[in-house]
């Protein structure tokens, strides 16, 4: 058994390579200079005691939106405290809140904690309108300039009540600014036109990082994160990176994977962190491109398994039909044959069967998530096209990742697993 705390590690400061935002916050974001300058311009009036500006910040996940706004608002708060200006910044992370209602209760809690310190309860049992009045009275109790950041506000979907009301609110003796952050472009486009124009006084886009930017981001995290690793030119961290424990092609490969996916810095860091841990666990002296490759496969597999575990009923059933076809030796099964199996399965698990066309949509969703592969072939002259589906994961992976105590899980244990020998 290995002992803890050995000194034969490649890490100097593991936290620095940890993708978790709570664990490590970069102090600078050179790749986001332009966006941070835009944010600065949005926040400057607040610093000067003028009416602050509302803004909409958007871009896909992992682009430094949360960290960037955290940096700028912390800077603003420090400036305001030093110069005795009445500024209060309130953050609400809306992830997982499906309704305006939840956002409002969390906002009230956050506004109260700004006044009384941590430990406030979420208000409960109030109608929406009352909650909104509570927000206004907390804002007035704070007074001065209040900047409300609603991060991942797209969670509320179509229920934009809180944005609609807040963007029209006029609390007494309060200069209110709203900053909405969204990972979902459609959310902004689908907003009520009034809300969009008042919230989007300023619109700041965080476009996906390219491979080059990701290299520099990874180089800065590796320097300090890994032993004997540093760069000499802060403007070119990757180009000037020197390391005894990192092979030259490791960072480029990790950056290329992440850039090709979505330019997500969190993904890039996660991949690098996992590769470093693989190398360290194996007691190897350096992180190589092979470790990055291994980490990439590991994370992809983990993502697919998570995807299977969270499939809704109809999609899970569709997946099981392809699994059944594979077990019985059919290589690529046609939609119609799969739908026949599907009807039998629905009967077995007592679920309502959907039409073949809607069933095909479920198969296509599974293909989009990388769980199935789809192939479209002509049936021959004038006969149209047919889709064929195959598992893109092992049979075992499907069988092992459906919730064992659900209706489908029992069905899998009783029917499918025994067939798979
Ligand atoms: N330019 C950058 N330099 C260093 N780390 C970054 C940079 N941009 C993002 N990150 C890191 O990537 C992760 C995701 O950033 P985050 O701000 O949470 O993204 P978003 O809010 O856009 O989803 C965090 O761990 C963050 O520290
Ligand atoms: Mg974020």
CA distances from 353 to 74, 309, 336, 341 (A): 54, 21, 14, 11
Q: What pairing do the DSSP bridges indicate for beta strands 202-205 and 229-231?
A: unpaired
CA distance 415 to 418: 6
Residues 201 and 219 grouped into a single domain? no
Residues 235 and 320 grouped into a single domain? no
Q: How far is the CA of 21 from the centre of ligand 2 (A)?
A: 9
The last residue of a domain, from among 283, 306, 329? 306
Q: How far is the CA of 66 from the centre of ligand 2 (A)?
A: 4
Cβ neighbours of residue 273 closer than 8 Å, sequence gap 6 or more: 17, 18, 19
Name the closest-CA residue to atom 8, ligand 1. 64
Asked whether residue 26 is domain-assigned, the answer is: no
Asked whether residue 3 is domain-assigned, the answer is: no
Per-residue DSSP letters for 296-334?
A: HHHHHHHHHHHHHHT--HHHHHHHHHHHHHHHTT-SSEE
- Domain with 116 in it: what CATH number? 3.40.50.300
Tell the residue number behind the tokens 């305001």, with chain if given: 80
Name the closest-CA residue to atom 1, ligand 1. 29
Residues 366 and 277 grouped into a single domain? no
Q: Buried b vs exposed e over 61-70: b needs ≥16 C-beta within 10 Å?
A: bbbbbbbbbb
Structure tokens at 175: 């200069």
Residues 52 and 200 grouped into a single domain? yes
User: Is 221 labelled a binding residue?
Assistant: yes
The pLDDT value recorded for residue 367 is 93
Residues 37 and 55 grouped into a single domain? yes
- Determine the atom of ligand 1 nearest the C-alpha atom of 18: 25
The pLDDT value recorded for residue 112 is 97
Contact 145, 175 (CB under 8 A): yes
User: Is 209 labelled a binding residue?
Assistant: yes
CA distance 88 to 143: 9
Say what angle helices 250-261 and 265-281 make with each other, to 10 degrees.
140
Cβ neighbours of residue 345 closer than 8 Å, sequence gap 6 or more: 317, 320, 321, 324, 351, 411
Asked whether residue 16 is domain-assigned, the answer is: no
Structure tokens at 172: 């007494």
The pLDDT value recorded for residue 384 is 76
pLDDT along the chain (421 residues), means of 10: 76 93 90 96 92 93 95 95 95 93 97 96 95 97 96 92 92 95 88 89 95 97 95 96 96 96 93 96 94 95 90 93 92 93 93 94 92 85 83 91 78 85 72
CA distance 372 to 387: 12
Give the ligand whose atoms come closest to the C-alpha of residue 61. 1
Residues 86 and 178 grouped into a single domain? yes
Per-residue DSSP letters for 93-143?
A: E-TT--SHHHHHHHHHHHHHHHHH-S-PPPP-S--HHHHHHHHHHHHHHH-
Say what angle helices 211-225 and 250-261 make with each other, to 10 degrees.
130
Q: How far is the CA of 63 from the centre of ligand 1 (A)?
A: 5
How many CB atoms lie under 10 A from the CB of residue 191? 23
- Domain with 355 in it: what CATH number? 1.10.10.10
63 lines ligand 1 (CB under 6 A): yes
Name the closest-CA residue to atom 9, ligand 1. 64
Asked whether residue 188 is domain-assigned, the answer is: yes
Domain that holds residue 338: 311-419
Rounded to a whole number, what is the largest CA-CA distance in the chain? 80
Contact 68, 36 (CB under 8 A): yes
Residues 194 and 216 grouped into a single domain? no
Residues 222 and 348 grouped into a single domain? no
Q: How far is the CA of 64 from the centre of ligand 2 (A)?
A: 7
Q: How far is the CA of 29 from the centre of ligand 1 (A)?
A: 8
CA distance 344 to 333: 16
The pLDDT value recorded for residue 240 is 97
Residues 184 and 70 grouped into a single domain? yes
Cα dihedral sign for 217, 218, 223, 229?
Answer: negative
Q: How far is the CA of 68 from the centre of ligand 1 (A)?
A: 8
The last residue of a domain, from among 144, 172, 205? 205
Residues 189 and 149 grouped into a single domain? yes
21 lines ligand 1 (CB under 6 A): yes
272 lines ligand 1 (CB under 6 A): no
72 lines ligand 1 (CB under 6 A): no
Residues 178 and 290 grouped into a single domain? no
Residue of 17, 33, 39, 64 with the most ligand 1 atoms within 8 Å of its CB, for mutation: 64
Element (H, E) at 364: helix 356-368
Residues 47 and 189 grouped into a single domain? yes
């Amino acid at each position: 058994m290995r002992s803890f705390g050995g000194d034969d590690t490649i890490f100097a400061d593991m936290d620095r390579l940890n993708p978790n935002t709570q664990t490590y916050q970069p102090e600078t974001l050179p790749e986001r200079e332009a966006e941070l300058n835009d944010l600065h311009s949005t926040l400057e009036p607040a610093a000067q005691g003028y009416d602050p500006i509302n803004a909409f910040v958007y871009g896909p996940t992992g682009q430094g939106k949360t960290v960037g706004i955290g940096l700028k608002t912390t800077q603003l708060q420090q400036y305001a405290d030093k110069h005795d200006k009445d500024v209060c910044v309130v953050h609400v992370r809306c992830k997982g809140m499906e309704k305006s209602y939840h956002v409002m209760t969390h906002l009230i809690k956050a506004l109260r904690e700004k006044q009384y310190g941590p430990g406030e309860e979420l208000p409960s049992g109030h109608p929406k309108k009352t909650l909104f009045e509570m927000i206004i009275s907390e804002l007035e109790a704070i007074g001065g300039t209040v900047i409300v950041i609603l991060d991942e506000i797209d969670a509320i979907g179509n229920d934009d009540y809180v944005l609609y009301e807040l963007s029209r609110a006029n609390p007494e003796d309060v200069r209110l600014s709203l900053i909405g952050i969204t990972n979902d472009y459609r959310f902004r486009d689908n907003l009520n036109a009034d809300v969009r124009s008042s919230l989007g006084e300023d619109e700041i886009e965080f476009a996906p990082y390219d491979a080059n930017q990701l290299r520099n981001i990874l180089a800065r995290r590796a320097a300090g994160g890994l032993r004997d690793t540093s760069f000499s030119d802060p403007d070119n961290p990757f180009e000037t990176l020197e390391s005894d424990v990192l092979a030259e092609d490791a960072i480029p490969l990790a950056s290329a994977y992440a850039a090709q996916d979505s330019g997500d810095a969190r993904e890039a860091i996660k991949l690098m962190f996992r590769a470093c841990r693989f190398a360290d666990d194996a007691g190897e002296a350096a992180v190589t491109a092979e470790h990055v490759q291994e980490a990439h496969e590991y994370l992809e597999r983990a993502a697919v398994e998570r995807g299977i575990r969270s499939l809704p009923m109809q999609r899970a059933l569709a997946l099981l039909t392809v699994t059944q076809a594979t077990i019985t030796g059919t290589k690529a099964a046609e939609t119609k044959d799969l739908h026949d199996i599907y009807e039998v399965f629905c009967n077995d698990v007592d679920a309502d069967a959907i039409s073949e066309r809607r069933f095909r949509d479920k198969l296509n969703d599974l293909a989009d998530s990388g769980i199935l592969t789809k192939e479209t072939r002509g049936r021959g002259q004038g006969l149209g096209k047919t889709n064929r589906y195959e598992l893109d994961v092992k049979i075992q992976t499907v069988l092992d990742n459906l919730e064992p105590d659900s209706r489908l899980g029992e069905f899998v244990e009783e029917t499918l697993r025994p067939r798979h020998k």
